[in-house]
Structure 1
Amino acid sequence: MQSGNIGQEKRPDTLGTVLCAGKILLSSGAEIYRAEETMYRMAEAMHIEDMDAYVMNRGIFATAKVGGEGIQTRIVSVPDKEIDIGKIEEVNELSRDVCTHSKTLDYLSSSLKKIESRNHYGVMGRMLAYFLGAGGFSFAIGTSMRDSLCAGIVGSMIGLYLLFSQGRIKSRVLETILGSVLTAILGNLLVSLGIGVHLSYIIIGVMMDLVPGVAFVNSVREFSQNNFATGETLLISALLTCV
């Protein structure tokens, strides 16, 4: 009996595969309505009937009728957000492809696994983004090019720190606090060495990299969509991180 099962691959779960798309979208920074719409469209393309989903920023709850298997219920936990616009675009493109052309469940499952495991931004790319963000914000508030360069250097170090702390520090608030401490230490070091001049401008520029802007904007968006519970959760999380 056991030898007959050797080499057989487990068939992907239809409802679980559809919810995986919503999980990728939410964990990459997409709005809740976008995740809901994508899941419903994929469910229709996969011939899932009577699907009902309740989506929050940290979880997806869904029931549906799948083929002759009766009513199924799934609960999916969504990890902390790591903004990745590339993954959002790829899932949206996959959704359009599945809805337009007849695709198999295996194709959808394997495509989602590839998207989930893909990393669009390398270490150097992230450090460059933090460098430009911190330096640009510092220059925008009226400081000199010298202080902007210092802010960019500190910002790139913060980007490296955030990359290292990902998955190691579970609390986003604690991660931001430690990042702020590191910002102050590096900023003071550059000023003490005579490289930087105005410490406040350097720190303000770097701090803008740590502001949870996406969470705040998404909270306002959820309020406008009457998703008050999720909007309140995102807003409180953003405010606590800022404080």
Structure 2
Amino acid sequence: MEQIIHLILKIAVTLIESGAEISRVEDSVSYMCRAYGAMATNTYATTAHVTVTVEMPDGALYTQTKRPKHISNNFDLLDRTNALVRRITAEAPSAEEIKTAIDALPKKKYPFYVIALAQGVISAAFCLFFGSRSATECLLAFLIGLALGFLGHLLDRMESNTLLKSFLLSFLASMLAFSVTRLGIISTPDYIIIGYIMNLIPGLGFTGAMRDLFVGDLFTGMLRILGALLLAASIAVGFVLTMVLFGGVA
């Protein structure tokens, strides 16, 4: 049973790392444990850790803890993991079958150049959306977004801190925008900076936090709000530091 619980916890962590609601993760763990005859299951999950205690009919108690690492929003992986949860609940497969199914879950990501290209397009689109009417500004926003998209991929491979990554990318984007303004290529850096920073804004993180609060997961909701606020603060610090260094734009 310990091996089964270990695998169930791996599934729970995958759900959290894919962006699942915490309440659904706890329910999923309970359903899977019951499929193997558990009399009672106590699950406590947050974005920081998952703990489950299982009581079996013979009185045996099992407690295990596992920690999620990289929280994201991977809805394809989330959907397939939910399908695995339903299968385990209905069929109670062996530990070996569960392990094989977990290993088969898709963990692929978009190619880094596709993400970089998307960041360039998003930067240019928001540059235009927020009021720029200059083709030069939109082109520069695209190029900055593209270049920093590649840098962001490099930082991800180095497993850099998320706050440090956001600060560095915000700082470099602002630095490049101020530099081309000082060179006289464009009249103001505002639209380029705003356009690129939209790639960094933790909108999904804040939305997920509000979702958790509304369903009663107060602790997890507060953790996610704190994470989103710290991320937003790191973005702002990167921009403000550039303004201090350049003394604004004359």
Fold similarity call, TM over 0.5: yes
Q: How many aligned residue pairs are there?
A: 232
Query: Displacement of 1:36 after TM fit?
Result: 1.9
**What's the Cα RMSD here?**
2.7
Aligned residue in 1 for 2:137: 147
Identity %: 22
Preserved CA contact (<8 Å) 2:137 2:186: yes
Aligned residue in 2 for 1:36: 26
Aligned residue in 1 for 2:216: 226
Render the CA deviation track for 1:71-120: whole Å, top value 9, x for unaligned.
1111111113133222112211222333344533222222223327x223
Aligned residue in 2 for 1:209: 199
- CA distance in 2 between counterparts of 1:55 and 1:71 reads 19
Task: Give matches, 1:102-117, under 5 Å.
Answer: 103-115=93-105
Letter matched to residue 104 of structure 2: K
Residues 179 and 71 (structure 1 numbering): CA distance in 2 closer, same or farther, change over 3 Å?
same
Task: Give matches, 1:56-95, under 5 Å.
Answer: 56-65=46-55, 70-95=60-85
Residues 169 and 76 (structure 1 numbering): CA distance in 2 closer, same or farther, change over 3 Å?
same
Q: Does 1:172 align with 2:162?
A: yes
Q: Does 1:134 align with 2:123?
A: yes
- CA distance in 1 between counterparts of 2:183 and 2:38 reads 64
Residues 182 and 226 (structure 1 numbering): CA distance in 2 closer, same or farther, change over 3 Å?
same
Higher RCO structure (Cα 8 Å, ≥6 apart): 2
TM-score between the two structures when normalised by the length of structure 1: 0.83
- CA distance in 1 between counterparts of 2:200 and 2:59 reads 47
Query: Displacement of 1:177 after TM fit?
Result: 0.8
Task: Extract structure 1 runs of 4+ deviating beyond 4 A.
Answer: 66-69, 189-197
TM-score between the two structures when normalised by the length of structure 2: 0.80
Preserved CA contact (<8 Å) 1:212 1:241: yes
Letter matched to residue 201 of structure 2: V
Aligned residue in 2 for 1:45: 35
SS in structure 2 opposite 1:226? coil
Letter matched to residue 161 of structure 1: L
- CA distance in 1 between counterparts of 2:147 and 2:25 reads 33
The more displaced of 197-206 and 36-45 is 36-45
The more displaced of 136-145 and 203-212 is 136-145
Preserved CA contact (<8 Å) 1:63 1:73: yes
Q: Does 1:123 align with 2:112?
A: yes
Which consecutive residues of structure 1, in runs of 5 or more, have no partner in the other structure? 1-10
